[in-house]
Amino acid sequence: MRWYAADLHLHSALSPCALREMTPAAMARALAASGVHLAAITDHNSCENAAAFVTACRKEGITPLVGMELETREEVHLLCLFSSVEAGTDWQGHVYGRLPWREDRARAFGTQWRYDAGGRPMAPLERLLTISSELGLEEACAEVKARGGLCIPAHIDRPAYSLLAMLGLVPRDLPVPALEISARAREDELRLRLGKGLGGRQLVSFSDAHCLDDIWPGRTALWLAHPSWSELELALAGRDGRRVVVLPAVER
């Protein structure tokens, strides 16, 4: 076994708040240059660029995961991760059914760029993605699990759109194997603050990159036999000698 670098929170140009330079191909090149082994695309409420991301990562020798940063009814951001484009697309269909349809006519937050599986640009997505879905946190976790995926509440220490900001605690029975802390958060402080609320879950920290400069080796290292979905599951469960380590926060 050896250490692998993981970045499982990345926004492509589909997220209106991300720069247009975040094409799946450019992201994969930047991830490879940064030494990332395992990467997930997690656009707001959508998996539309997942197929292009998977293709681009495979070209660069990176193990791709398919994901989404769901905004739940409680306005909590939740990373939803899957091992395949098919599972992610099925989840996307479920989310779109519970996401109020609003046309992104003004493009006030930026254009939502889509790419086909070969990385070619397509017509921008017209439905606005940056709104909260009607899916509750518990329901979302159960539905993701039913599709073979896993959930990680995002940037729990941030003052908005986070578990601690919106709920004030980590629900004891919430079926999530890990909690994401933001890039600048200190792990020891978060552990103290959470206390027993951590409930044996792992802490992880990803880039939440919205531009290419935000892509870097990251803070989360995984001790795995090889970089894969099944090994990630073992590491997050702390089983069979697999481990998760969050490196100290650094000023960049």
| Interacting residues toward Zn ion by CB under 5 A | 69, 77, 154, 208
Spatial distance between the Cα atoms of 133 and 99, rounded to a whole number of angstroms: 4
Tell me which residue has tokens 């760029």: 113
- Enter the DSSP assignment of 217: S
Considering the complex, what minimum distance in angstroms separates the CB of residue 62 from Zn ion?
Answer: 19
Instruction: Give the list of residues 6+ apart from residue 180 with CB closer than 8 angstroms, or none.
Output: 9, 79, 152, 153, 154, 155, 156, 203, 204, 205, 206
220 contacts 178 by C-beta, under 8 angstroms: no
**Nearer CB in complex with Zn ion: 205/224:** 205
**Nearer CB in complex with Zn ion: 70/232:** 70
53 contacts 47 by C-beta, under 8 angstroms: no
Spatial distance between the Cα atoms of 158 and 177, rounded to a whole number of angstroms: 19
Considering the complex, what minimum distance in angstroms separates the CB of residue 170 from Zn ion?
Answer: 17
- Enter the DSSP assignment of 34: T
Considering the complex, what minimum distance in angstroms separates the CB of residue 187 from Zn ion?
Answer: 19
Residue nearest to Zn ion (CB): 77
Considering the complex, what minimum distance in angstroms separates the CB of residue 146 from Zn ion?
Answer: 23
Which amino acid is it at 86? E
**Nearer CB in complex with Zn ion: 77/201:** 77
**Nearer CB in complex with Zn ion: 48/208:** 208
Q: For the chain, what's the residue count?
A: 252
Q: For residue 85, give both structure tokens.
A: 């484009």
- Enter the DSSP assignment of 221: E
Considering the complex, what minimum distance in angstroms separates the CB of residue 161 from Zn ion?
Answer: 5
**Nearer CB in complex with Zn ion: 48/69:** 69
